[in-house]
Amino acid sequence: MVYNLIFKVMMMKIKPALYIISLLLLGFSCQKDDKFLSDAVPSYLSASEPITNADLQSLTYGNFFAFTGFSQQGSPFDGIISYPILASGECDQISIAANTSYRNMDHWFTRKNEDVDLATKDFWTHIYYVTNQASLVISKLGQFTDKVEIEPILEGQNRFLRALTNYAGVLCFGAPYGSDNSSRAIILYDEKSLSTGPKDLRSRNTVEEVYTAIINDLKIAIEKLPLTWDSAADPTMAKYKILPYKAAAQMLLARVYFNMGKEHWNDALPLINTVLGYSQYGLEADPRNAYDLPKGVIPGKETIWCYSNEWWSYHDSPFIWNLLYEPNASVFTMHPGFGRAYPISQQMLNYMGWNDQAEASKDLRYTRNFIRFEAGNDPLIAYQTLNKAYVWPLKYEVSFRASLSMMRLAEMYLDKAIILFNSGDKTGAASALKVIRDRAGLPEISATAITEEDIHKERAKEMIFEGDWLRYLQCQRKDIPGTTTLKWNDSSLVLPVPLEERTYNPNI
Amino acid sequence: MKKKRWNFRCGRIPCAKQLCRIMKLTSFLLFVLFFQVSAGVFSQNNGRLSLKAEKESVNNILKLIEEQTEFRFMYNANNINVERKIDINCESKSITEVLNILFKGTNVKYRSFNSNYVLYTDAENAVEQTQQQKSVSGKVTDSSGAPLPGVSVVVKGTTSGVITDADGKFTLAKVPENATLQFSFVGMKTQEVKVTEKNNINVALQEENVGIEEVVAIGYGTSIKKNVTGNQSTIKSEELKSIPTSSLDAALQGKGAGIDITSANGGMINGLVKVRIRGNGSINSGTQPLWVVDGIPIMSDEGGSRAQINVNDEALTPSINFLSDLNFDDVESVNILKDAAATAIYGSRGANGVILVTTKSGKQGKGKIDFDYKRTFSNRINQIKLMGAKDWIKTNQTAWTNDGRTGDFPLPVQKLFADTLANGTAAYTRDMMNNTDVNWMNKMLRTGITDEYSLSMSNATDKSSYFVSGNYSNISGIMIGQEVKKYSIRVNLDFKPIDWLKVGTKSSYACSDANEVSTLSGSGIRGISWPLGAISNPGYLNAFNLPVYPEEYADGSPFEPGGLNAPYQINDKKLYDNTYKTYHLVGMAFLEFQLLPGLTFRTEAGLDNYRQPYNVYGGNQSKGGATTYWLKTNYVREGGDETQKTNFNAVLNYNKIFKENHNISITLGTERTSTQYKTMYWQNWNVTTENHLNGSASIDYDNKGTATYKSDLFDEKFEGFFGRLNYSFKEKYLFGFSIRRDGSNKFGPDNRFGVFPSLSAGWIISDEHFFKNEVINLLKLRGSYGQTGNSNIQMYKYQNVYSPWGYYNDEQWLMLLSLGNKGIQWEKSNVVDLGLEFGLFNNRISGSVSYYNKLTSNMLLNSSPAPSIPAGVNPSSRSLITNAGGIKNTGFELTLSTVNIVTKDFKWTTDFNFSTNTNKVTSLDKSYAGTPFSISGDERIAIMEGHPIGEYVLTQFAGYTGKGDDQIYQVNQDLRTNSNQYQLESTGNKILATASNLANNRFFTGKSGIPKFFGGIGNSFTYKGISLDLFVSFRGGNYILLDGISRTVAGEASMNKDLINNTWTSSNANAKYPRLSYNGLSAEKDADGNAIKRAEAEDRYLVKGDFARLKNVRLGYSIPKSLLDKAKIKSLMIYTDIQNLLTISHLRYFDPEISNSLRVSSIGNGYGAGSLNYAPSLVSGTPFPNVSTVQFGIKLGL
């Protein structure tokens, strides 16, 4: 009875209360929508744009990493390095090992296969990732209050990177300078023209505009970049030369002027002399060390700027390296699709004189950096059916973690030699060439005996497989040898804009 | 506008928005309640009732009490005037008090048996008394022989009756001799037995499995099955029985129409299972259904978003099927919601269907204890047959000679290893090769044995119930080294502490302790992606399966050329230790308030917490002391994952019948779900015992770049508000409407919410007067239209994500990881469903036919923006999610249940289901125009408008060249270049099959990997205590591309036994395979005289995926009661169950259900996890084999 009474009282009081509590609970869970859902972005993700100079510094490092390639197959080096090498007839198309998986490298020769598109798309894509990010950093400089002392160096680094990337882009997707400078090449992103998202579809800038932008960036970079590594101010990694010093910007600008054609060689020469005048740089005594040091971490004095696998530590050497520079069988090269694919072409061998083994063996570069397998003697089973002897490069074969020299002082001597020769200074030309020949263990060519062809051949032997030959011939308006000989400005030497870009971007 | 108005009204009141929302809800509820009619009953379920009615017939009041309480009334309407109208207004009265009020002043009396009340008059009693003649007793059991207490036993046509006692026994005195006894019990079919001369009547009641009055789970509530207007399949626990699969999802295979289930991982412990309800609805988004266990949306098999970040670590953190932690014996029922009418209330997560799992609760009656023990033996089936050493040597020598070379083919241990061989271990010689024959598969695999023990206890009173269970399994997988111990407990409780409140929990906790075999670098057979024994890549570990490799040298030292361990050594825990533990808590607690008659408020809080710590120790020493090549030094990796899903919902339910014929049911609710995922590991090489023990190994700057750390974290959130209105008129005309507004933090602030409505209707034609007939007892027509959503994509896709990418010493770099697409919205599916349900001959034949049309639009597709848009750093996975494109899935579903024969001792029933599915991509983002494989990333698998997902684009075999190389038909190159449509016509020219010819001469085959039909047929036979169940599942219309097999002849001479005598020779020009070649070289030469690398015509390796499989054979014997009674045992059953006993398929090499991919995830992450959406049937390498199991079990009930 008592219970019933209490219960009745409770029910009278509680029922409305319950009703209200239930509604409150329901209502509570309907509290302001956005708060619950927007709370969720974890703090480790900087889902907003950068807000400090420290962020900009990290973005700069990240962008250098992006430039050097996120993955082996997707590396821009595939495009930057392999295209000029393969297109100019520097190497022979054996590629038995390479054409069974990953990527059919035949496309570099034929440029008809749709695989060309697949590969150029990676390269094309990377150009814009890097130039846009570099531009983002430059656009934000001066806005933040932390670490203001690093702002100039950040600007120099980003302008160098942007120029380097645009230059790689214009070399491949643009007509050679002096051919048709009003033709379209690549899209320029700069600090005033950042990408605004997926709908921001642009048209290409002209060859002239791109070169102007590159030269402008490099001039500022030269001004802003330090001469040497400052342990107090710079991060440890900078000493590995993955981040550029003043000399790197100067050498790149010299290279740009040089490749623009003889009309611009006078602009290049002072820069070349400046770089050659720096005491911290010099040729290695052993040509082998010009590429990778025994430890392969800290590059030698010949390197002006490099790609450091060790520093990135994330991945092994770019894919092209596996194809070009791994002559010895290893666990991985036993596998079809990995390992060397391209020896020096017969045509280049004849031009360089290295088909004559007696002649070749006098050259330290040949003995130290190349290997020859006679027909049937190749350790790779896949190549045992070849019916000729081939010479394979092993410039970087020692270590997966080698620092890969992308700018080497030797190039400056060779530039200087041809520029001086062209201006009639044969003594100067012979003197510049002597430095290179001395290191190769070859006798000097006297000022009286030196010919233009001597300088060309020396360059071929020194720079082969470094992506130099095509642009060297083009800047002198020389025909391009290969399966068929092409004019220096033949349209087939310009890579087409990738199909996907053409499909998706009506403004291209 | 509306928003502003509310703000204005609310002035400055704090939390004005919330209050306004509450007021809106309140107004709505009040509106509903004003419709309250003149009668209402409020049961507090302890027998106390509140009742208010004016001028209502006694009949209706009794009906109302029956509908809303557990009380039932039996009376003879001829003798008792129930049409009499009365007024009643009572609060908290007992049932007897209510009856006293109802029949005050009449001669009506009553008798009660638990909740059953028999109403009678004195006159009736008198008649009964005059007719009494004999006393009858007996026992009532269920179909398994377990006694059924509480069964109502009534003399038909009278009110005379009793209720069976706790042992199921009854005694009924004074039964007329020609009377009929009626046995009825909730959930059982009512049975009538004529009383003849017998004094003892024993009855076994049959469960009402497909009863139209059955209560089934629907989203956030339950409903009478007959009244459901959505399309759903119900699978009761009895159907699952003890199917020896490792997870609930696998056990559902073939059980429901429209549900295609594949055990993609075959014999893997906790193997992942692919569940597709009504086809693949999306290309890049997840296509797994939402699993809801006791109201908690749980993590489904692939871990959903868990997989998205962890994808690169696949090898070290085994993918766990979360459902494998759910003990089958605890499951009461599984409801599979298929159409939008059923799933739209789950809004954003309903597009792939919803599977509701309800676990058991205690039932009133005598307490129950069940114990189950089973032992399962597993053996691999349908595995590729391999050559022995002699055949292998002969094959390779032939291949070598065929390539134009002389002498012996090179020893499989190459020059590479010679150096290492010289360094300590003996050399591998040709003699050794010729004198060795080892079957490495037999060395690695074994018969798997699983012991499983389950114990459960349950009981209930009218105020509480409990179900408690425990399970222990000790699993030894079929691969040596796979050992798992699993423990789980479940506690399901509910109480009514006070009359208007019910509280309870349904919680389980499972943990396991496992040793996984090595998965590093594809070692062992789990990760092999290359053809077995491919000779041209002996550097790969699988080469160590070659039969010519000995286990050890003559001196007893292990054979470890080049420091490589043989696979069986890798599985030696002393050399390689990969252990992980899992802890999995799934818990739910609820409060349920009875607010008003018919109005309940229920709130549930759920937690699904999963932790998986793991550690991997790799020694740098192999068995023989050689240093392994892939572990240049020793190796430690320690870490773990934690996923925590919390779920909170609050639901108001209101049910009301008014004016007799109008039944209204309203549900209003809100739900929030949050999933946090964390993972972290560190790993290092060069770890010495010393520095590992003192912790210094975690920092290793001296050895730069070797220490790696990784951690990830995300928090995925959903928020939903939903409502449902069901209305039925005369229980014949049914209408349903539901709507859900769902928000997710996967979308930007402007697009966060989506609204998902559905409309449905049903007509029970068989209840119409004009239709009444003896043959058809149920005919129901139903139809629905609705919209559901899918948001199963990675997190943070709407915003730019910058991420620290790496570091060197203390310098870190940031990268734009992905460019956000602020505009992305929900993927939507519009679903039309039409169905007909029927029951014939008193439900001896019952079933349904349905048609569905599911159109996915606004598809969340990984699309590549123009390459000039800086969208992400990695070109290969650079993508933006956009809403683009659509997919259409249509199909028919048929389910049929028949009771074929039923006699006193023998019964035969059949359940059959059959479904079809047609899948077509209706539109795609324009960036995919003309590149059929740009989404799949595999040139052989197309995704293109007008074609099914994953249609194969292959080259066509055109016979051999005169020298035994494959030729293919050339396609019209102009047409290909110009149309870029791959709708190519053959020129009739035959060309050599080379890689580049393959690339340029593929055409649409019209065949895809997606099945066009599937289903299952189950037959159950019972004879006295013996039961036999046979279950066959089948599937077909799909094609499987045997990628690995094609490669075995593409120059990677292999161990495939089928090559023997089946390769081209001049005397066997029509052979199955081309001429053997050691290096895959064509007999043709190029211009330089070098051999041309050949490829294989592809369509030859496309085989039909159709299969029928005797999935389950189960034989059980229940020991007769008479024997058990003395031992006080309720039931005892012994059984044996054989799974995958027989498979009929076109495949000679592999199992038709498995593919070589480890994941069944469908998150479009660019790493292949999503590829199973469109490439479900590509078999390359040597996938982990499927198994056949034999199980023996004993089930004891006390």
In this predicted structure, what is the pLDDT of residue B843?
84
Contact: A100, B871; criterion CB under 8 Å: no
User: Do residues A70 and B873 touch, judged by C-beta distance below 8 A?
Assistant: yes
> Measured between CB atoms, which of B595, B866, B929 is closest to A15?
B595
Does B26 score more than 50 pLDDT?
Answer: no
Residue of A nearest to B1089 (CA): A387
Does B1158 score more than 60 pLDDT?
Answer: no
> Measured between CB atoms, which of B500, B593, B717 is closest to A40?
B717
For residues B305-315, average pLDDT: 32
* Bridge partners, B919 (sequence order): B889
Radius of gyration of chain B (CA): 34
- pLDDT (tens digit, 9 = 90+) per residue, B917-939? 999 999 887 666 656 666 776 77
Model confidence at B307, in pLDDT bands (50, 70, 90)? Answer: very low
> Measured between CB atoms, which of B416, B815, B927 is closest to A334?
B416
Tell me, yes or no, whether A112 lies in a domain.
Answer: yes
Does B982 score more than 70 pLDDT?
Answer: no
Residue that wins the pLDDT comparison between B585 and A236: B585
Residue that wins the pLDDT comparison between B964 and B1176: B964
Q: Which residues contact B333 (CB under 8 A, 6 or more apart)?
A: B216, B217, B234, B235, B236, B237, B357, B358
In this predicted structure, what is the pLDDT of residue B133?
64
Residue that wins the pLDDT comparison between A13 and B1041: B1041
Q: What is the DSSP secondary-structure string of B657-713?
A: EETTTEEEEEEEEEEEEEEEEEEEEEEEES--HHHHHTTGGG--GGGTT--EEEEEE
Does A92 score more than 80 pLDDT?
Answer: no
Model confidence at B1050, in pLDDT bands (50, 70, 90)? Answer: low
Does B44 score more than 70 pLDDT?
Answer: no
For residues B517-540, average pLDDT: 37
Q: Write out chain B residues lying below 8 Å of A62, CB-based.
A: 805, 813-816
From B80's Cα to the closest Cα of chain A, the distance in A is 32
Contact: A62, B814; criterion CB under 8 Å: yes
| Tokens found for residue A472 | 């060297």
Contact: B815, A63; criterion CB under 8 Å: yes
Model confidence at B696, in pLDDT bands (50, 70, 90)? Answer: very low
**Count of other CB atoms within 10 angstroms of residue A336:** 24
Answer whether B868 touches A (CB < 8 Å). yes
**Count of other CB atoms within 10 angstroms of residue B488:** 21
Residue of B nearest to A498 (CA): B867
> Measured between CB atoms, which of A129, A198, A498 is closest to B880?
A198
Q: What's the Cα-to-Cα distance from B824 to each of A425, B111, B741, B858, B880, rounded to whole Å?
A: 65, 66, 17, 9, 10
Tell me, yes or no, whether A363 lies in a domain.
Answer: no
In this predicted structure, what is the pLDDT of residue B242?
56
| Tokens found for residue B461 | 């009173």
Does A203 score more than 90 pLDDT?
Answer: yes
Residue of A nearest to B748 (CA): A38
Residue that wins the pLDDT comparison between B653 and B596: B653
Contact: A129, B25; criterion CB under 8 Å: no
> Measured between CB atoms, which of B596, B713, B822 is closest to A44?
B713
In this predicted structure, what is the pLDDT of residue B960?
93
In this predicted structure, what is the pLDDT of residue A264?
97
Q: With 0-12 CB in 10 A as exposed, 13-18 as middle and 19+ as buried, what is B903? A: exposed
> Measured between CB atoms, which of A26, A46, A70 is closest to B874?
A70
> Helix %, strand %, coil % for chain B, to 5?
15, 45, 40
Residue of A nearest to B746 (CA): A37
Residue of B nearest to A71 (CA): B874
In this predicted structure, what is the pLDDT of residue A293?
54
Contact: A313, B806; criterion CB under 8 Å: yes
Maximum average pLDDT range among A341-345, B13-17, B76-80, B405-409? B405-409
Contact: B808, A385; criterion CB under 8 Å: no
Residue that wins the pLDDT comparison between B92 and B1021: B1021
Answer whether B14 touches A (CB < 8 Å). no
In this predicted structure, what is the pLDDT of residue B876?
59
Residue that wins the pLDDT comparison between A293 and B841: B841
CATH number of the domain residue A22 falls in: 1.25.40.390
**Count of other CB atoms within 10 angstroms of residue B526:** 23
Segments forming the whole domain that contains residue A131: 5-316+403-504
Does B159 score more than 80 pLDDT?
Answer: no
Tell me, yes or no, whether A415 lies in a domain.
Answer: yes
d(CA B1015, CA B1035): 6
DSSP single-letter state for residue A349 = H
Does B575 score more than 80 pLDDT?
Answer: no
Tell me, yes or no, whether A71 lies in a domain.
Answer: yes
Which of A46, A65, A125 should be substituted to probe chain B, the one whose Cβ sees the most B Cβ atoms within 10 Å? Answer: A125
Q: What is the DSSP secondary-structure string of A45-80?
A: SB-S---SHHHHHHHHHHHHHHHH-SSTTT-HHIII
DSSP-derived pairing of the beta strands B1186-1197 and B1131-1145? antiparallel
In this predicted structure, what is the pLDDT of residue A202?
94
d(CA B1114, CA B1032): 12
Contact: A312, B806; criterion CB under 8 Å: yes
Q: What is the mean pLDDT of chain B?
A: 76
- The closest alpha carbon to B1193, from B248, B243, B236, B470, belongs to B243
- pLDDT (tens digit, 9 = 90+) per residue, B889-913? 999 999 999 999 988 889 999 999 9
- pLDDT (tens digit, 9 = 90+) per residue, B199-233? 788 888 876 654 446 778 788 888 877 778 888 88
From A68's Cα to the closest Cα of chain B, the distance in A is 11
In this predicted structure, what is the pLDDT of residue A242?
78
**In chain B, residues 351-390 whose CB comes closer than 8 Å to chain A:** none
In this predicted structure, what is the pLDDT of residue A16?
63
> Measured between CB atoms, which of A18, A70, A498 is closest to B593?
A18
In this predicted structure, what is the pLDDT of residue A1?
53
For residues B671-700, average pLDDT: 63
Q: Write out chain A residues lying below 8 Å of B865, CB-based.
A: 198, 504
d(CA B268, CA B555): 36
Residue that wins the pLDDT comparison between A164 and B237: A164
Which of B814, B821, B881, B883 should be substituted to probe chain A, the one whose Cβ sees the most A Cβ atoms within 10 Å? Answer: B814
Tell me, yes or no, whether A285 lies in a domain.
Answer: yes
Does B100 score more than 90 pLDDT?
Answer: no
Give me the numbers of helices (H) and strands (E) for chain B, helices first please. Answer: 19, 60
Contact: A106, B865; criterion CB under 8 Å: no
In this predicted structure, what is the pLDDT of residue A42?
53
Which of A32, A57, A100, A101 should be substituted to probe chain B, the one whose Cβ sees the most B Cβ atoms within 10 Å? Answer: A100
| Region of B523 on the Ramachandran plot (φ > 0 left; ψ -120 to 50 alpha; else beta) | beta
DSSP-derived pairing of the beta strands B116-121 and B72-74? parallel
> Measured between CB atoms, which of B21, B875, B876 is closest to A30?
B21
From B1063's Cα to the closest Cα of chain A, the distance in A is 22
From A30's Cα to the closest Cα of chain B, the distance in A is 7
> Measured between CB atoms, which of B25, B816, B867 is closest to A501?
B867
Tell me, yes or no, whether A378 lies in a domain.
Answer: no
Q: What percent of chain B has pLDDT over 90?
A: 23
Residue of B nearest to A57 (CA): B813
- pLDDT (tens digit, 9 = 90+) per residue, A219-238? 999 999 999 877 666 666 66
Number of domains in chain A: 1
Which of A68, A94, A316, A331 should be substituted to probe chain B, the one whose Cβ sees the most B Cβ atoms within 10 Å? Answer: A331
Tell me, yes or no, whether A78 lies in a domain.
Answer: yes
Does B136 score more than 70 pLDDT?
Answer: yes
**In chain B, residues 811-830 whose CB comes closer than 8 Å to chain A:** 811-816, 819, 821-822
| Tokens found for residue B1176 | 């479900």
- φ/ψ (deg, to 5) at B651: -135, 130
Residue that wins the pLDDT comparison between B67 and A409: A409
> Measured between CB atoms, which of B749, B876, B1088 is closest to A74?
B876
In this predicted structure, what is the pLDDT of residue A401?
55
Residue of B nearest to A63 (CA): B815
Residue of A nearest to B669 (CA): A26
Say what the pTM is. 0.74
* CA B711 to centroid of chain Cα atoms: 29
d(CA A51, CA A146): 10
Q: What is the DSSP secondary-structure string of B310-328?
A: HGGGTTTS----GGGGS-G
Inter-chain CB pairs, A–B, below 8 Å: 293
- What is residue B834's three-state secondary structure? strand
Answer whether B930 touches A (CB < 8 Å). yes
Q: Write out chain A residues lying below 8 Å of B403, CB-based.
A: 385
| Region of A154 on the Ramachandran plot (φ > 0 left; ψ -120 to 50 alpha; else beta) | alpha
Q: What percent of chain A has pLDDT over 70?
A: 69
Of the ranges A97-106, A360-369, B1133-1142, which one carries the lowest mean pLDDT score?
A: A97-106
In this predicted structure, what is the pLDDT of residue A183?
96
Does B97 score more than 70 pLDDT?
Answer: yes
- pLDDT (tens digit, 9 = 90+) per residue, B1084-1139? 887 767 778 788 888 988 899 899 999 889 999 999 888 888 888 888 999 999 98
In this predicted structure, what is the pLDDT of residue A184?
96
Contact: B802, A44; criterion CB under 8 Å: no
* Terminal-residue alpha carbon distance, chain B: 66
> Measured between CB atoms, which of B539, B749, B804 is closest to A331?
B539
Answer whether B880 touches A (CB < 8 Å). yes
Q: What is the mean pLDDT of chain A?
A: 79
Q: With 0-12 CB in 10 A as exposed, 13-18 as middle and 19+ as buried, what is B410? A: middle
Q: Write out chain A residues lying below 8 Å of B814, CB-based.
A: 46, 50, 55, 58-59, 61-62
Does B1028 score more than 90 pLDDT?
Answer: yes
Give per-residue burial for B951-978: e unless 16+ CB within 10 Å, then b: bbbbbbbbebbeebbbbbbbbbeeebee
Does B652 score more than 80 pLDDT?
Answer: yes
Of the ranges A320-324, B136-140, B498-502, B657-661, which one carries the lowest mean pLDDT score?
A: A320-324
> Measured between CB atoms, which of B21, B92, B629 is closest to A4?
B92
d(CA B1015, CA B1188): 20
Radius of gyration of chain A (CA): 29
Q: Write out chain A residues lying below 8 Å of B866, CB-based.
A: 198, 201, 500-501, 504-505, 508
Tell me, yes or no, whether A224 lies in a domain.
Answer: yes
